[in-house]
């Protein structure tokens, strides 16, 4: 029998990460990259020491309660941990880790892409070219909004939010932010802090959501808050769909109250609210914020570093529960 810890790996991981897993652990891999139902996952966990899941596996209180006693650590391949019931894990003495830092650049790139895609009507433009429906050019054709020099409001000035701010400064944007705590001057780099989100909203030509999904932030962007944004504002979400009240956002996009939205994340992925698909002013991506070769490798190695620390009896650096 192997003496290496047994790790259930819920999704196909980059080759280099799976190689290291095979070297240092006894991994139960998922070469077909199937999405496991809770029962399948629980069956796979029999006799396992650890789980290495993604945000696609919902580790609810019920699932965590049903895990075998052998499972002592959940090392997520994600920075977001809203798919894990942390209180339930704590109750069972299961350590939980995530993968911060390593995906901030990649996610900020996608935030900028969402911003530009929404402001410059990239979905409509691409459709015109691909469908051979592009007929003409005129000064009135495909007119969007220039983001250069505009005001950007960032909700959640953590690691990703700070990189978005830096990238936005490259577009001469004036950065405002709302965060639980004010950053120190150096990190703030001239960004304007708003202790109250509602005070910031009227100052945002573009609003970027970059905070975690928690019970406190659920539905944060609702009809009242959208009403506080300037007419023709743009909303970007690269954090979690749960931050948005879909009815309110869709209504504001339909009426043109908002100019556009750039979304990488949604409620109920991948079965998103179908009304988004009909909106020409929505630039839509399939949750690819961290999807670069560099970042996916780094996320896997970071999850393994956390497992290594745990099994060596050290405190994992990214422990969240």
Q: How far is the CB of 60 from ligand DGY (least distance, A)?
A: 17
Residue with tokens 């929505």: 282
Tokens 């994600």, residue located: 78
Distance CA(294)–CA(297), nearest Å, equals 5
Decide whether 27 or 241 has the Cβ nearer to ligand DGY.
241
Q: Near ligand DGY by CB under 6 A, which window of 76-84, 86-94, 180-188, 202-210?
A: 76-84
CA distance 33 to 17: 15
Residues 274-313 that bind ligand DGY (CB under 6 A): 289-290
Taking CB under 6 A as the criterion, which residues in 17-56 touch ligand DGY? 54-55
Using CB under 6 A, pick the residue from 17, 74, 79, 204 that binds ligand DGY. 79
Residue 123 lies near ligand DGY (rule: CB under 6 A): no
Q: How far is the CB of 97 from ligand DGY (least distance, A)?
A: 12
Nearer to ligand DGY, 100 or 153 (CB): 100
Name the residue nearer to ligand DGY (CB basis): 123 or 290. Answer: 290
Instruction: Name the DSSP class of 274.
Output: G
Using CB under 6 A as the binding rule, whether residue 272 contacts ligand DGY is answered as: no
Residues paired with residue 152 on neighbouring β-strands, in sequence order: 175, 206
Instruction: Catalytic residue, from 269, 278, 294, 315: name it.
Output: 269
Is 287 designated active site? yes
Tell me the C-alpha distance between 218 and 33, whole Å: 30
Label the pairing between strands 206-209 and 233-237.
parallel
Contact status, residue 56 vs residue 33, Cβ threshold 8 Å: no
Distance, CA of 163 to CA of 209 (rounded, Å)? 13
Tokens linked to 139: 């000064």
Residues that bind ligand DGY in the complex, under the rule CB under 6 A = 54-55, 78-80, 103, 289-290
């Amino acid at each position: 029998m192997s003496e290496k810890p047994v790790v259930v790996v819920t999704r196909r991981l980059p080759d280099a990460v799976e190689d290291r897993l095979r070297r240092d652990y006894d991994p139960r891999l998922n070469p077909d990259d199937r999405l496991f139902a809770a029962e399948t996952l629980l069956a796979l966990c029999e006799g396992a020491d650890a789980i290495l899941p993604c945000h696609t596996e919902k580790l609810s209180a019920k699932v965590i309660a049903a895990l075998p006693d052998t499972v002592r650590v959940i090392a997520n391949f994600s920075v977001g941990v809203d798919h894990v019931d942390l209180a339930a894990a704590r109750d069972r003495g299961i350590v939980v880790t995530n993968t911060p830092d390593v995906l901030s650049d990649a996610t900020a790139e996608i935030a900028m892409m969402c911003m530009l895609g929404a402001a410059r009507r990239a979905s409509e433009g691409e459709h015109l070219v691909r469908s051979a429906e592009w007929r003409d050019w005129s000064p009135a054709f495909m007119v969007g909004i220039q983001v250069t020099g505009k005001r950007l409001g960032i909700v959640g000035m953590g690691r990703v939010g700070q990189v978005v701010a830096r990238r936005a400064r490259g577009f001469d944007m004036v950065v405002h932010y709302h965060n639980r705590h004010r950053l120190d001057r150096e990190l703030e780099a001239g960004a304007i802090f708003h202790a109250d989100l509602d005070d910031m909203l009227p100052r945002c030509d573009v609003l970027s959501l970059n905070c975690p999904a928690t019970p406190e932030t659920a539905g944060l962007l609702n009809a009242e808050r959208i009403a506080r944004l300037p007419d023709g504002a743009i909303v970007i979400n690269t954090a979690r769909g749960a931050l948005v009240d879909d009815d309110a956002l869709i209504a504001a996009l339909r009426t043109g109250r908002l100019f556009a939205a750039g979304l990488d994340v949604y409620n109920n992925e991948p079965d998103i609210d179908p009304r988004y698909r009909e909106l020409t002013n929505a630039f839509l991506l399939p949750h690819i914020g961290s999807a670069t070769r560099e970042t996916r490798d780094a996320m896997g190695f970071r999850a393994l570093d956390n497992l290594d620390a745990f099994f060596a009896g050290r405190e994992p650096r990214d422990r969240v529960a």
